[in-house]
Amino acid sequence: MSLLAVQNLSVAYGDLFAVRDVSFAVEQGTVFVLLGANGAGKTSILRTISGLLRPRSGEVTGEGKSLVGLSPHEVARSGISHVPEGRRVFPNLTVEDNLTVSYIAERANMPAADALAAVYALFPRLAERRAQAGGTLSGGEQQMVAIGRAMMNFPKLLMLDEPSLGLSPVMAELVFERLAEIRKGGTTILLVEQNATCLEMATQGVILANGSVALSGDAHSLQDSEFVRRAYLGV
Ligand SMILES: Nc1ncnc2c1ncn2[C@@H]1O[C@H](COP(=O)(O)OP(=O)(O)OP(=O)(O)O)[C@@H](O)[C@H]1O
Ligand SMILES: [Mg+2]
């Protein structure tokens, strides 16, 4: 049974269909990439999985159980954490409060202090800055907070919406290194990106174009595809 399955999903805003008949499955232990240009429907798909949007049609299941109709909190409790587009760090809360605010005791299955220690081990820079206000952090540090906040609940599935956007190449690499570490720890990753270089760390993926699946398969075959070479690598 797939950790997450999206079947014939369509999402619309009024008359405008942002996602049309999209299907894919994410298996335990993998890094699955949703790759697509601006407006392809990537964020709409993640927000639907998280319970922030209702699908127009289709099904979303987590370990075989339907997630459609659950609140965002219920989806999080089921073991799916979402690092949103734009990070959404609370500017007036400290790093530590930003991390603690999403902690769900039943989900983390350990005291908040222990969950914090695990996040600080992953991102030592956040430990140094635990008392600093979120709004004064650099973009890279804010991305660490956004990921750390999701990791406070030890999700089975970590979903990230363009985590490298706006980061320097060095900082983006650091973030991807941390994701590799998170995966080694047993967390499955669903990564949304526009940049095809993320296929290097992926196992499977889907390429979205105008809300539909243009291509799907293992990461190597996507990397080698004419579609990716033309559209994303410019070769
Ligand atoms: N709240 C909304 N109301 C109306 N249309 C929306 C809304 N949110 C998104 N859309 C439209 O849905 C389509 C898909 O948007 P979405 O944000 O899912 O794309 P995306 O792949 O995440 O793009 P980006 O890479 O720019 O973040 C776009 O045409 C967008 O204008
Ligand atoms: Mg988006």
Task: Give the 3-state secondary structure of residue 225.
Answer: coil
Do 144 and 56 have their domain in common?
no
> Does 93 reside within a domain?
yes
On the question of pLDDT at 235 being above 60, the answer is no
Do 55 and 109 have their domain in common?
no
Q: Which contacts qualify for 103-107: CB closer than 8 Å, 24 or more apart? A: 103/152, 103/153, 104/73, 104/76, 104/77, 104/153, 106/77, 107/76, 107/77, 107/79, 107/153, 107/154, 107/155
Q: Which residue has the tokens 């993998």?
A: 30
Do 70 and 16 have their domain in common?
yes
Q: What are 80-103's pLDDT values in tens digits? A: 999 999 889 999 999 999 999 989
Taken as a whole, the chain contains a residue count of 235
Position 231 scores a pLDDT of 72
Residues 161 and 150 sit within 8 Å (Cβ to Cβ): no
On the question of pLDDT at 180 being above 70, the answer is yes
> Does 179 reside within a domain?
no
- Sheet strands (E) in the chain: 4-13, 16-26, 31-36, 57-62, 65-66, 80-83, 157-161, 188-193, 204-209, 212-218
Percent of residues, the chain, with pLDDT higher than 70: 98
> Does 183 reside within a domain?
no
Do 70 and 117 have their domain in common?
no
Structural domains of the chain, count: 2
Query: What is the 63 CA–ligand 2 centroid distance (Å)?
Result: 25
Do 137 and 74 have their domain in common?
no
Do 12 and 44 have their domain in common?
yes
The answer, yes or no, to whether any atom of ligand 1 lies below 6 A from the CB of 19, is no
- Per DSSP, the residues of 116-167 read HHHHHHH-HHHHHTTTSBGGGS-HHHHHHHHHHHHHTT--SEEEEESTTTT-
Q: What are 158-168's pLDDT values in tens digits? A: 999 999 998 99
> Does 194 reside within a domain?
yes
Q: What are 117-166's pLDDT values in tens digits? A: 999 999 999 999 999 999 999 999 999 999 999 999 999 999 999 999 98
Q: Whose alpha carbon is nearest atom 31 of ligand 1? A: 39
Tokens of 152: 């406070």
Structural domain for 143, as ranges? 88-154
Residues 55 and 10 sit within 8 Å (Cβ to Cβ): yes
User: Parallel, antiparallel, or unpaired: how do β-strands 188-193 and 31-36 relate?
Assistant: parallel
Atom of ligand 1 nearest to the CA of 45: 18
